[in-house]
Amino acid sequence: MNNYSRIFFIILVYFASSQVSSQQTMVEVDRIIETNLNQTVPIIGTIISNKKSNLMAPLPGKIDSILFEEGDFVSKGKLITRIDYEKYKWLYEKAKAIVKIHEVEYNNSKTETKINLSDLNRMKALKNSSAFNEANYEKLTNLHEINQSNETKALAKLESAKYDMNMALLDFKNSQVRAPYDGILEERFIEDKEVVTIGTKMFNIVSKKYLEVLAEIPTLRVTNLSIGNTITAITVDNFKILASIRAIGAEENSKTRTVKVYLSFNKSEELRNLFAGENITLQVPIGEGKKALTIHKDAILKREGISLAYVVKDNKVEIRPLKLGEAVNNRFIVYNGVSLNELSVIKGNERLRPGQAVKLKEKQ
């Protein structure tokens, strides 16, 4: 190809490209609007029992007998096991007998004090007569002080014996391990005739009567919640429960950025048995009664992990980086990058270039 032919070809290509670029590309657009945030997001929670206890051995001894097996229902106050029952029974009986001994000793000391005081008073009455004996009077006075001291000592021993008796009675009662509330004996950690020490874990009891929901909800969502708010909870088999927020935790988990939320529900509404540990999905509102700027999902382009959108200005497109939030139906909450009522390209945006002229077809 000679030089004239080459120049002609370049000029031809230039005019062809200029003509293409001067043509307006038809695109469909959608306005940036404010949307009511009446949507919900699913959060996985767990049904928990707020009465779940490990029953520990209250005193040392040998397990006499175990009256229930794992999985059995036990009602409040029902005897579950005994720990050295006979031993603690006789220790209590012995303590009662010691109290009786000290009661007799105390009563005797009171009688001796009373008799001595009577003799002392008679001697005082003879003080101005010839029958008065100074030596006997001093002897009776000293004896009275000794008797009062013995009476005080006997009373202290009696009180101490009563304390010991009460402790023995407490041990005797504690040797009979009873259910603290209605529940299921979920686990057993001891065997019959096993020797236990104070604090040995014996049983795990779980109440099915006092159930509630625990969920760790993102802090951003918790700011929209208040105690008393009602939230729909859905089990894995699509059974719906209306739950009410009972309490909101005070601490954020620094690892998960979540806060614990506790929800109660009316068990009379149950259509089937619920179980502690069962997963349940909460429909948590993302901002009830609030509005947020939103952009159509089809306007979003992803480039190397960055969210972008083409926005039309003076019939030409500008590309904008976006900071997006959660989805609201077919839109996304947008925190920055666009303004209210701007037009975003939702169709034909894949091949656009910044500054390209466009012809608009607004979405109906």
Coil/strand/helix, residue 83? strand
Q: Tokens representing 174?
A: 């504690």
> What is the structure's pLDDT at 191?
94
Burial class from Cβ neighbours inside 10 Å (0-12, 13-18, 19+) for residue 30 reads: buried
What is the pLDDT tens value at each position of the chain, 364 positions in all? 444 344 333 333 333 333 444 568 899 999 999 988 777 889 999 999 989 999 999 999 999 999 999 999 999 999 999 999 999 999 999 999 999 999 999 999 989 888 888 888 877 878 878 788 878 888 888 888 888 888 999 999 999 999 999 999 999 999 999 999 999 999 999 999 999 999 999 999 999 888 999 999 999 889 889 999 999 999 999 999 999 999 999 999 999 999 999 999 987 665 678 899 999 999 998 766 678 899 999 999 998 889 999 999 999 999 999 999 888 889 999 999 999 999 999 999 988 999 999 998 866 5
> What is the structure's pLDDT at 13?
35
> What is the structure's pLDDT at 192?
93
Cα 185 to Cα 193, 202, 268, 272, 329, distances in angstroms: 19, 11, 24, 21, 47
Q: Give which of 57, 73, 47, 66 is closest to 185, Cα–Cα.
A: 73
Give the Cα separation of 209 and 51 in Å (integer): 9
